[in-house]
Amino acid sequence: MSKAYPCLKRQIIVAIETAMRQGEIYSIRKSDINAQNQTLQIPETKTDRPRTIPLSKRALKALTDQIGASGNVIQLSDRPIFDVNRWTEWNRFTRLKEKCGIEDLRFHDLRHEATSRLFERGFNVMEVASITGHENLKHLKRYTHIKPESLVARLG
């Protein structure tokens, strides 16, 4: 990931750590982040139901680094912290995949990866659904790709 543009790198970290959709990431505002509680309010979602998600230390650092990357400019409005051109970011993501030799990867695939990682870390179905925003467990299952190797230790 060292080849990624800093802003794109932070977007990828947030995606993998939170299972957020790309549009949700692009909508994050400084006022949505509660650093003290280590949570993020997502007021607008695909399902039209706002949700608050817990942030890992890594996700919180990526978000605070992104806020810091904008410098000491005083904004008159609470603009999205990833105030980027989506076409430019798509091109950067495409070039990054090429540099890494990855052919079949979409940004949305990071949501699948994040969901699987949550299960591998021991979160139960309801906890993962509350983080990812899935209301239908059938859809949540489609996002889950648990590696059998991660279950070995739990089997004993």
Read off the CATH number of the domain in which 89 is found.
Answer: 1.10.443.10
Contact partners, residue 119, CB within 8 Å, separation at least 6? 128, 144, 146
Residue 65 in any domain: the answer is yes
Task: Classify each residue of 11-48 as buried b or exposed e, where b means 16 or more C-beta atoms within 10 Å of its C-beta.
Answer: bbbbbbbbbbbbebbbbbbbebbeeeeeebebeeeeee
In the chain, how many domains are there?
1
Tell me what pLDDT residue 83 has: 85
Among candidate residues 3, 106, 108, 139, the one labeled active-site is 108
Residue 1 inside a domain? The answer is: no
Task: Say if 118 falls within a structural domain.
Answer: yes
Q: Is residue 66 part of a domain?
A: yes
CB of 93 closer than 8 Å to CB of 5: no
Q: Is the pLDDT of residue 73 over 70?
A: no
Q: Is 143 a catalytic residue?
A: yes
Q: How is residue 85 annotated by DSSP? A: -
From 9, 10, 117, 134, active-site residue: 134
Query: Mean per-residue pLDDT for 111-136?
Result: 91
Structural domain range at position 102 = 6-155
Name the catalytic one among 9, 10, 21, 92: 21
- Contact criterion met (CB below 8 Å) for 48 and 70: no
pLDDT at 138 over 90: no
The answer to whether the beta carbons of residues 50 and 43 sit under 8 Å apart is yes
Catalytic pick from 9, 10, 92, 111? 111
Residue 41 has pLDDT above 60, yes or no: yes
Query: Does residue 41 belong to any structural domain of this protein?
Result: yes
Token duo for residue 29: 């505002």
**pLDDT given at position 74:** 58
**So what's the pLDDT on residue 70?**
65
Has 134 been annotated as catalytic?
Answer: yes
Residue 46: active-site member: yes
The answer to whether 85 touches 74, Cβ cutoff 8 Å, is no
* pLDDT at res. 142: 81
Q: Is residue 29 part of a domain?
A: yes
Within a domain: 49: yes
How many whole angstroms separate alpha carbon 116 and alpha carbon 141? 10
Compute the 3-state secondary structure of the chain and give helix, strand, coil in percent, each to the nearest 5.
55, 10, 40
Q: Is the pLDDT of residue 71 over 70?
A: no
Edge-to-edge strands, sheet with 33-34: 33-34, 39-42, 51-54
139 has catalytic annotation:
no
Q: Is 108 in the active site? A: yes
Looking at the domain assignment, is residue 84 inside a domain?
yes
